[in-house]
Amino acid sequence: MQFIKTASIILLFVAPVTLFGQSAYFQQGSKENILLERLEIKAQKDTSLNFSFIKPFNRKWWINAIERIEEDPDPLKLTRVDLYNMQRSKMNSMEWVTGDKSTLQSKKSLWKTFYTTPADLIQVDNPDFFLSVNPVLQLQAGVESASDEFLFLNTRGIVARGLIAKKIGFQTYLTDNQERGPAFVRDRITQYRAVPGAGFYKTFKTTGVDYFDARGSVNVNVAKYLDIQFGYDKQHIGSGYRSLYLSEYPNSYLFLNLNLRVWRLNYVAKTMELTAQYKRGSTDTVFPKKYMAIHHISFNAPKWLTVGLFEGIVFNRLNQFEFSYLNPIIFLRPMEQNNGSADNAFVGVDLKANIARKFQLYTHLLFDEFKLDEITSGDGWWANKWAWQFGGKYIDAFGVKNLDLQAEINLVRPFTYAHNDTVANYTHYNQPLSHPLFSNVRELVGIIRYQPAPKWYLQARVNGWWGGSDPVGENYGNNIFLDTDTRARGYGNVFGQLNETQWVNANFWAAYEWKENFFIEGNLYFRKTNNVATNTVASFGIRWNMHRREYDY
């Protein structure tokens, strides 16, 4: 509550009387992300699109970019499917479309009230007020070879967003979920006492789980180039499939975001209230809190190249906020040292290059702790904690329209993200904040995505990784919840210790968009490890106005 009060006071002081229009953001897993990646590479030098490493993406920036592209589309060599997706994107962010909107309206509404546009059950589009309200539904049924139990996902809810007087934007998302996932997902829930991506749960039908997913935020543009967002949600920082900075894998969290975008610079200052590691008892109790501050600045110069710097601090004062980290324009590491160096500090650098309107190369390198002389010695010092990602994207591959390829390497050294206490580790609600495979892991990711026709989506994804394990009572650097002072050894630490295991997780997904944002889809998973039979999972269902449920770990 202390953080909430502080954030409220800040908003009162920084928000001037005269405000500018502020936008809501994409939902997690929005279909627009596919087109966003393609247009960023094809446009190559569009500064707004080049800042897409922060997701969810800003709807106003998105529509402005699409309308700029429509003014001169020839250099981008847009496909028929691209043009269709751009039109549907405008339909899904109508509040920021300029000019004639008649082509985005439904030919026939329902009772002249519902579905006046194909994208929204209810839409109000007045000069001083915009409102979009939609149902959320996901019904999936499946089977797996590793268990005789029937798999299911039953999600019902509502999503809404709005804009008041072109000054205040808001969005909310609420679902009720019952789920029995594959056996390896149920094992993870049992081990860490949290549903991946959701957090708190109750038991449902013995081996299933029942949980709410509630998110929401308020957005204000306090100056021409400065946005403030205050809410409860999640975010992804990075250009890759995985993020080594901050991913959408864990539960949502309370946050205050400041985003400054001016010239070729984009700067994000983010403060978060997290839930520390806990063990659920038999009675209700308040979970312990911890806090985190993140700064990320990126520079788009030359315009085809984006360079970023990252820093973050997780601080271990249980249920107490450290006000020195609220300063948005100072390096966090000196503040952390002045506070006694008791906190978990991270720094990173990232690069992204768009090449020939066909390719994108990206990388980011994160340092938790390191000493240069220890790295060069090659002795495997435990505190040389770092993570590295390198990847590439190739769109319209081999001349096939809307065939996109992506390949990625992720390396996370043993003990990275862990700390010498169980509070300041890089986790939230018993889940990692970045890579879902924790640390002490090497991973390869390959993705083939194809949209052969406007309403058809096909994707194949393969994750292969090599990771070590931590036997009961021992710490070899995989489990980031363990105290680093309990490490098994100080030197001789290498990737894959102890008892390195190889895993493969492959997914094949096919979907048909029957109505706007209404998908009929099927999934086929294959998951295998050394000397264990392949677990095959097949599912089929419908999804309406929400993201796919992924089991990519």
pLDDT in tens, 269-312: 999 999 998 877 666 777 889 999 999 999 998 999 999 999 99
Q: What is the pLDDT of residue 3?
A: 47
Q: What is the pLDDT of residue 8?
A: 46
Q: Are 479 and 467 in contact (CB under 8 A)?
A: no
Average pLDDT over residues 36-57: 96
Residue 256 sits at the vertex; the CA angle it makes with 251 and 260, to the nearest 5 degrees, is 120
Q: What is the pLDDT of residue 341?
A: 58
Q: For 312-340, what is each residue's pLDDT tens digit?
A: 999 876 666 777 777 777 676 666 666 65
Q: What is the pLDDT of residue 14?
A: 42
Q: How many CB atoms lie within 10 A of CB 197?
A: 21
Residue 255, sorted as left (phi over 0), alpha (psi -120 to 50) or beta, turns out to be beta
Q: What is the pLDDT of residue 339?
A: 62
Q: Residue 15: pLDDT above 70?
A: no
Domain holding 492: CATH number?
Answer: 2.40.160.10
Q: What is the pLDDT of residue 327?
A: 74
- 111 domain residue, yes or no: no
Count: domains in the chain: 1
Q: For 488-516, what is each residue's pLDDT tens digit?
A: 999 999 999 988 999 999 999 999 999 99
Least confident of 57-61, 130-134, 496-500, 529-533: 529-533
Q: What is the pLDDT of residue 319?
A: 63
Cβ partners under 8 Å of residue 472, min gap 6: none
- 104 domain residue, yes or no: no
Compute CA 373 distance to the chain's CA centroid, rounded to the nearest angstrom: 35
Q: For 455-477, what is each residue's pLDDT tens digit?
A: 999 999 999 999 999 999 999 99
Distances (CA, A) of 541 to 138, 205, 275, 455: 7, 20, 33, 16
Task: State the DSSP code for 112.
Answer: T
Q: What is the pLDDT of residue 277?
A: 87
First-to-last alpha carbon distance for the chain, in angstroms, is: 34
- 549 domain residue, yes or no: no
Q: Are 204 and 212 in contact (CB under 8 A)?
A: no
Average pLDDT over residues 419-425: 89
Average pLDDT over residues 41-57: 95
Least confident of 103-107, 110-114, 300-304, 478-482: 110-114
Q: What is the pLDDT of residue 223?
A: 86
Average pLDDT over residues 126-135: 96
Distances (CA, A) of 419 to 276, 385, 482: 13, 11, 8
Q: Residue 19: pLDDT above 70?
A: no
Helix (H, G, I), strand (E, B) or coil at 532: coil
Q: For 338-380, what is each residue's pLDDT tens digit?
A: 665 578 899 999 999 999 999 999 999 999 988 889 888 989 9
Q: Are 23 and 14 in contact (CB under 8 A)?
A: no
- 105 domain residue, yes or no: no
- 240 domain residue, yes or no: yes
| Dihedral in degrees, nearest 10, Cα atoms 279, 280, 282, 284 | 130
At residue 198 the predicted structure's pLDDT band, cuts being 50, 70 and 90, is very high
Q: What is the pLDDT of residue 118?
A: 97
Q: Residue 11: pLDDT above 50?
A: no
Mean pLDDT across the chain:
92
Question: Which candidate, 228, 268, 333, places its Cα nearest to that of 55?
Answer: 268
Q: Are 203 and 209 in contact (CB under 8 A)?
A: yes
Q: Are 306 and 51 in contact (CB under 8 A)?
A: yes
Compute CA 49 distance to the chain's CA centroid, rounded to the nearest angstrom: 17
Q: Which residue has the tokens 């994207």?
A: 393
- 424 domain residue, yes or no: yes
Q: Alpha-carbon distance 553 to 550, whole Å?
A: 9
Q: Alpha-carbon distance 454 to 456, whole Å?
A: 6
Average pLDDT over residues 529-537: 91
80-91 and 32-43 helices, crossing angle to 10°: 120
Q: Residue 257: pLDDT above 90?
A: yes
- 381 domain residue, yes or no: yes
Q: What is the pLDDT of residue 348?
A: 96
Q: What is the pLDDT of residue 375?
A: 86
Phi and psi angles of residue 334, each rounded to the nearest 5 degrees, phi first: -60, -35
Q: Are 441 and 553 in contact (CB under 8 A)?
A: no
At residue 22 the predicted structure's pLDDT band, cuts being 50, 70 and 90, is low
> Which comes out higher in pLDDT, residue 247 or 199?
247
Query: Containing domain of residue 234, as a range?
Result: 2-98+124-544
pLDDT over 90 percentage in the chain? 81
- 256 domain residue, yes or no: yes
Q: What is the pLDDT of residue 13?
A: 40
